[in-house]
Amino acid sequence: MFQSKMQLSSNYLLNIYVDLISLAPTIIGIAVALALIQVSINAYTAVQGALVDNSNTMVNSIIGVITEEKAFEY
């Protein structure tokens, strides 16, 4: 009786272990997908930051040209 209970619990643990091993590729796939999403978010924010910097520079240069033209008028 005791031997059969030990055998059952060992089979149960083995089944859990096999289930976890079979889930490993899914877990790794989810982790890789999340990492790729993070990389793309970082790239997007970097591009947005560069665009904002460029537009600020462009606006400042336009303002500079306008103020220089105004200075020549007086």
**How many independent structural domains does the chain possess?**
1
pLDDT surpassing 80 at residue 40: yes
- Asked whether residue 19 is domain-assigned, the answer is yes
CA of residue 36 relative to chain centroid, distance: 6
C-alpha 22 chain-centroid distance: 26
**Could you tell me the CA-to-CA distances from 62 to 51, 53, 68, 71 in Å, in that order?**
16, 14, 10, 14
Give the residue numbers spanning the domain of 52: 12-73
pLDDT above 70 coverage of the chain, percent: 77
Residue 53 lies in a domain: yes
* Residues 14-36: tens digit of each pLDDT: 888 888 888 888 889 999 999 99
Give pTM, 2 decimals.
Answer: 0.48
